[in-house]
Amino acid sequence: MLPHPSAPLSAQLLAAAGAVRAVLSGQSLSDHLEQVPLPLRPAVQALSFHAMRHLGYARGAMLALVPREPGDPLVRALLLLGLCLMEASLARTDDRAPGPGTPIYPPHTLVHQLVEAAAGERRCRPAKGLLNAVLRRYARERTAVAAQVIAQPEACWNHPEWWISTIREAWPDHWQDILQAAQRPPPLALRANSRAVTREALQSHLRAAGLDCHAVGAEGLILESPQPVRDIPGYDLGWWSVQDPSAQRAGHLLPLADGQRVLDACAAPGGKTAHLLERHSVRLTALDSDARRLARVADNLKRLRLESANVTLRCADAAHPADWWDGQPYDAILADVPCTASGVVRRHPDIRWLRRPDDLARTAALQAGIVDALWTTLAPGGHLLYSTCSIFPQEGERQIQAFMRRHTDAGRRAAPGHILPGHDQEGDGFFYALIAKTR
């Protein structure tokens, strides 16, 4: 990652430290990045994403080097960011070598620019000496510090200890692969809009533009090298959507026929909504409780030339049908319910640090309330596809087993169940269960 020509590296580092501080205070990284000036945003995203993927190690190293961690949150964030980047720079030639796309700077440049970043913020100026001393000491004593730090689970796996233990208990044969997969940036996956272009034609257009790609799933393409989305051919023409291969499965798992009445509950931002409309001429209601996110569904449908489809957008809580349901049963329901998002940590690396142990029970209870409510709106003989981007069994298999015990008119049909990151093609972690209403 090279500095943006209009912004010195020190400014990028200071802005990225602000993003790290925001996450440590409980704010979503995506929400914070929307507030970052556009010229700085790509660099700040790359820097802060790297920091999120290595925050556990940086915390351990900071505590090993600093008797008392800085009290100012921004100074603490600068130091953590600096340790993440220093480790990446020093690890280039050993067994902890960083992956492709990692921001790499010469150690002396990094130290100088971090000190300059602190100098650019009045509250951080007193910490210039601390930053300089700690980072230079880490460069000298890296081997000894790493040996001490890496013995700590959070530093070794760069996830909170409760998360590690939950994954290890749920997936004793795969837990290490799952945690390692979360450290690798995801590929950029596209889904061809079958109403506008075939996948083969889209692939030809991309290759003609110098973008190598390969097929995945039924309509997907993986770009060998990520690109700015708006620079990819066909964006303005609605030829494709960005969608992970695991998420693309929903459009094929829910059995639909033209003319059916369909509900996409928890629909925003609309990737699965669009996929259903691209594949079938159905009467679809897209439901979401967040008006701002629901507006993104409308924007996406417009870009994909699907605004003329028979679709209704409703802003309401799926758990309370009395507020939005007209009493006419649906032939099919996609219930892509809220979850901890534990399956998409490689795509949103701040999630692991934002979640708390009690979030799992809270989201599981929320999911149960939603699917029980949606079940009342499904016609006999209809299908409900339950999906989450979670790999925690409490939000997947255990949730569905409990649902089946509560509803004697439910029958499970073939579906993938849990999809583990690092094990299934190139997709995120997901869970799918297809349930038929038998009477």
Q: 4-60, pLDDT tens digit by residue?
A: 446 899 999 999 999 999 999 999 999 999 999 999 999 999 999 999 999 999 999
Bond preceding residue 228 cis, omega within 30 of 0: no
Neighbouring C-alpha atoms within 13 Å toward the C-beta of 11? 13
pLDDT tens for the 439 residues of the chain, in order: 344 446 899 999 999 999 999 999 999 999 999 999 999 999 999 999 999 999 999 999 999 999 888 999 999 999 999 999 999 999 865 656 566 667 889 999 999 999 999 999 999 999 999 999 999 999 999 999 999 999 999 999 999 999 999 999 999 999 999 999 999 999 999 999 999 999 999 999 999 999 999 999 999 999 999 889 999 999 999 999 999 999 999 999 999 999 999 999 999 999 999 999 999 999 999 999 999 999 999 999 999 999 878 999 999 999 999 999 999 999 999 999 999 999 999 999 999 999 999 999 999 999 999 999 999 999 999 999 999 999 999 999 999 999 999 999 999 999 999 999 966 558 999 999 999 999 9
At 209 the pLDDT is: 96
Judge whether 124 counts as a catalytic residue.
no
Amino acid in the structure at residue 163: W
Axis-axis angle for helices 41-53, 9-24 (nearest 10): 50
What residues have CB less than 8 Å from 309, skipping those under 6 apart? 277, 281, 284, 301
Of 267, 229, 266, 223, nearest in space to 245 by CA: 223
382 backbone dihedrals φ, ψ, rounded to 5°: -80, 175
C-alpha distance across the termini of the chain, in Å: 58
User: 312 - beta bridge partners?
Assistant: 285
Fold of 188-242: Alpha-Beta Plaits (3.30.70)
User: 314 - beta bridge partners?
Assistant: 287
Cα–Cα distance for residue pair 249/219, rounded to 1 Å: 10
Q: What's the gap between Cα 267 and its chain centre?
A: 16
Domain with CATH 3.30.70.1170 in the chain: 188-242
**CA–CA distances in Å: residue 69 to residues 143, 157, 212:** 21, 22, 46
CATH class of 253-437: alpha beta
**Domain boundaries 9-158, corresponding CATH code:** 1.10.940.10
428 backbone dihedrals φ, ψ, rounded to 5°: -75, 170
Placement of tokens 């960005």 in the chain: 242
Cα–Cα distance for residue pair 263/231, rounded to 1 Å: 33
At 1 the pLDDT is: 39
Query: Percent of the chain beyond pLDDT 90?
Result: 91
Domain with CATH 3.40.50.150 in the chain: 253-437
Catalytic residue among 84, 213, 266, 389: 389
At 99 the pLDDT is: 64
Cβ–Cβ under 8 Å, residues 416 and 397: no
371 backbone dihedrals φ, ψ, rounded to 5°: -70, -35
At 4 the pLDDT is: 46
Environment class of residue 94 by beta-carbon count within 10 Å: exposed (0-12), middle (13-18) or buried (19+)?
exposed
Question: What are the tens digits of pLDDT across the range 101-136?
Answer: 678 899 999 999 999 999 999 999 999 999 999 999
Cα–Cα distance for residue pair 98/53, rounded to 1 Å: 11
Q: Is the dihedral of CA 365, 369, 372, 378 positive or negative?
A: negative
DSSP-derived 3-state class of residue 293: helix
Domain with CATH 1.10.940.10 in the chain: 9-158
